[in-house]
Structure 1
């Protein structure tokens, strides 16, 4: 029913208009994430401006939107509570430096190794997180200062405006795509609320609820340079380094996975290492200019792509427009009904969630289905970095288990009456039991040849398995002949070392994963 209307052609007009749409959606998100981190709203807004501008101009994925994010904010909250906002700024600087180093050392390429089920789980999990975040807009403070769900006319008004926003976004592109449908929906719903004088919560209401300040506003001045006011000593480093390491990992994982998703939507290829450097530079600048840092935002990136934003100008426009709102147009932006922005984000949720995963669940291997659900669940209950790491580890274990079955040992007898075993497939920790079970020691001849020409010994567990095999044959008084092993294997073998037949011309040369050789 719903689909993303991703433009395939870069257009300056589309970039500017989509950037304005994104800027409107950035305001409540930045304020919300600042609240989560325990800092002032402007700290989140400044972060969205600086991270968005720098990554849009210099990053590796044109059209991707970055800003303050919830995944990083939940890590920051304990640091701010324990040590204050100045330590947060110092941590963000160090986070940026670590991310720059990741780009310099070309670590961004490893995101291409993330299995597809993990990608699906990441997308579905974030779609659920975005959806759950929007439900907070349906809560208001009662006279006792407690949050409670909307009810009565307020709820019906909110739901009606959300539904109208979603309808405009979905059906307007069928009539015209001259203007992003999300921008039109926000403007139309805002005029309806103002024209009919509807009692609907606006952006300024949200800001004041979050800060518990009846006079709060998003108005502010230009961010100013300041070195974080923390002691420059080893004790400070001990405090901020663990936080910086976690923030750097979360920021890069979310950014690079979002980059991969945008690649698929636009049928282009971004540059992961360049994005790492840009994200790092943005966070370093943030720490010196009073921002809370950030990374790529999948929701706003999807809004941008859906609205036709493909070039760097879309992200630059979003960042500059956000700063313009802070400096000159706060009164206008604060009038926007939250329902319009919630409607935009609900469309993002519908477009982001991989509904096809329900259809393919019975067709894909059970292990892939398990990884998909696991990553989605961990993303919702924990955070993105943990979910992706868990997904990759489980996928790797499944891969190892499946490939353990690929070690096949073929038995035959040569012209001399010797038993010959030809090993096919990699021999590693997961395949050792299967490898040993395929030898018939009692019924073999006195001389047995094990041929490794079509195999490769991968790790120390495989070395141990060969030694065990040699020990078993020795116990039966039989002689084992090991052929076509690498020189490292011969060096690492203990019981079977003297059984290796060396052929300098035909023997392979490869390394074995073991701590013994460093």
Structure 2
């Protein structure tokens, strides 16, 4: 399980250096999401440390970075505001239990069923969300305490340092890949800003601005064990259960989709069910150590992969380095200019957005292009979980519509004068109307045969359609026979069961999705 160094393509040096880079970028993200959730910054930093460490050891995707995320923070805020932070910790514990159960019952495999257009929409939408989140770093507080956009020399210096960061990340790999370009960019820009005393905000300026506490600091101690101080009653369970279900779903969807993206980039395959258990274990522990819970972070994961991090050691390094920053190195981290971190995230945006999808718009089916745009838009406007669920539903409906058009029948007259309809294609809820239009009870001869050798009845709607067709012929006093239906079809037919001809040698044997047999 603990394969930290086993595979040859994993480099200890690359994992350690990329982990340090990720740790630097984790600090402002964790603090920002803590503010979104209306909790203390340390709650977000502890979450980034523990989720990152535990998922790196137990999770199913080496190289993927987890921590406190905005997708989960926006769900938490209502619970914190209404009931307090202790209820949040209890909800995070229950979230972990739900996610572990999802892994135990192997629900992680269903992420492989997410259609490719939905994946493209997810990636593009998340890239836009990351970009928009960075724009907040260009705001400052006026003397009256209101937020306003930077202007004058501060804005120009901010843009210049962001551009310098991006230039280093882009050009340095052309000369050497010995050190992650993002780490070099952060250290270089930080040194320039400090040496020249450039007047742009640093990490601690952001923390103090958001908390309205000019004495705030990122220094802290080790997280301590504590059972959430909530009543252990049925009422408490009813309060936290809806939030835990949503947090578990959002966390797993974001984590498993991020895993699929990294699988594609690295041409490897992660373990979805193991990742569910890893994420659940991390959140379960978080709730007992005063942390807000979290899931995979696509931005930091992309930084890690682009910096050469491939193994579990990269995530472990990032988590431990983050803890060391809190314990002994807070003054160094606090002095990092936001411009350096914004530049790193802008490069993540450029690398994450699937630019080829823009060129594909006129080359792919209109339904696929629509799904890509729809999922991207909902990801930006609402949240990731809703976007993916809507995308999957729309994709399923589009698929059903296309499959519904594939049912047809060839018509012949056999040697006995019976008319034979040989049906081809799937019979299910979407194709019933087309199936019914095939037949001509009024003009057909006295004896009619419907042959399903090249067709399948898939669901209860299909069974109802077979019964209804039999009734149409019986009302006209004509005889209808069904051939090559499965035994389950014969069992489920209420009115046409006696019309099914049984051929033990030729009849197919398949299952029908019907609640009567569930």
- Same-fold status (TM-score > 0.5): yes
In 2: Cα distance, 1:277 partner to 1:494 partner: 45
Q: Deviations over 1:243-293 (max 9, x none)?
A: 000000000000000000000111111111111101000001100011100
In 2: Cα distance, 1:127 partner to 1:377 partner: 11
In 2: Cα distance, 1:130 partner to 1:348 partner: 8
SS at match of 2:387: helix
Q: How does 1:110-125 map to 2 (within 5 A)?
A: 110-125=110-125
- Residue number in structure 1 paired with 2:393: 393
How far did residue 406 of structure 1 move? 1.3
- Residue number in structure 2 paired with 1:336: 336
In 1: Cα distance, 2:466 partner to 2:55 partner: 52
RMSD value, Cα:
1.0
In 1: Cα distance, 2:369 partner to 2:168 partner: 35
How far did residue 407 of structure 1 move? 1.1
- Residue number in structure 2 paired with 1:317: 317
Q: Deviations over 1:195-240 (max 9, x none)?
A: 1111010000000011110000110000000000011110110000
Structure 2, unmatched stretches of 5+, are: 1-7
Structure 1, unmatched stretches of 5+, are: 1-7
- Residue number in structure 2 paired with 1:141: 141
How far did residue 440 of structure 1 move? 2.6
- Residue number in structure 2 paired with 1:93: 93
Asked whether 1:465 is paired with 2:465, we answer yes
In 2: Cα distance, 1:272 partner to 1:461 partner: 33
Q: Deviations over 1:31-90 (max 9, x none)?
A: 000000000000000000000001111111100000000000000000000111100000
Q: Deviations over 1:323-346 (max 9, x none)?
A: 000000000110100000000000
How far did residue 439 of structure 1 move? 1.4
SS at match of 2:423: strand
Q: How does 1:274-423 map to 2 (within 5 A)?
A: 274-423=274-423
- Residue number in structure 2 paired with 1:3: none
Q: How does 1:18-417 map to 2 (within 5 A)?
A: 18-417=18-417
Paired residues, what number?
A: 511
In 2: Cα distance, 1:340 partner to 1:225 partner: 35
How far did residue 14 of structure 1 move? 0.6
Q: Deviations over 1:380-423 (max 9, x none)?
A: 01111111000000001111110111112111111112110111
SS at match of 1:482: strand
After TM superposition, the score normalised by the length of structure 1 is 0.97
How far did residue 304 of structure 1 move? 0.3
In 2: Cα distance, 1:335 partner to 1:492 partner: 72
In 2: Cα distance, 1:218 partner to 1:113 partner: 42
Q: Which moved more, 1:417-426 or 1:302-311?
A: 417-426
How far did residue 516 of structure 1 move? 3.0
Q: Which moved more, 1:495-504 or 1:394-403?
A: 495-504
Q: Which runs of 4+ in 1 moved over 4 A?
A: none
After TM superposition, the score normalised by the length of structure 2 is 0.97
In 2: Cα distance, 1:223 partner to 1:65 partner: 20
In 2: Cα distance, 1:248 partner to 1:516 partner: 32
In 2: Cα distance, 1:311 partner to 1:497 partner: 59
Q: Which moved more, 1:186-195 or 1:487-496?
A: 487-496
Q: How does 1:427-438 map to 2 (within 5 A)?
A: 427-438=427-438
- Residue number in structure 2 paired with 1:5: none
How far did residue 514 of structure 1 move? 1.9
SS at match of 1:453: strand
How far did residue 486 of structure 1 move? 2.0
Q: Deviations over 1:347-377 (max 9, x none)?
A: 0000000000001111111111111111000
How far did residue 484 of structure 1 move? 1.5
In 2: Cα distance, 1:293 partner to 1:121 partner: 26
Q: Deviations over 1:444-488 (max 9, x none)?
A: 221111011121111111111112211221222221111122222
In 2: Cα distance, 1:57 partner to 1:500 partner: 57
Q: Deviations over 1:17-36 (max 9, x none)?
A: 00000000000000000000
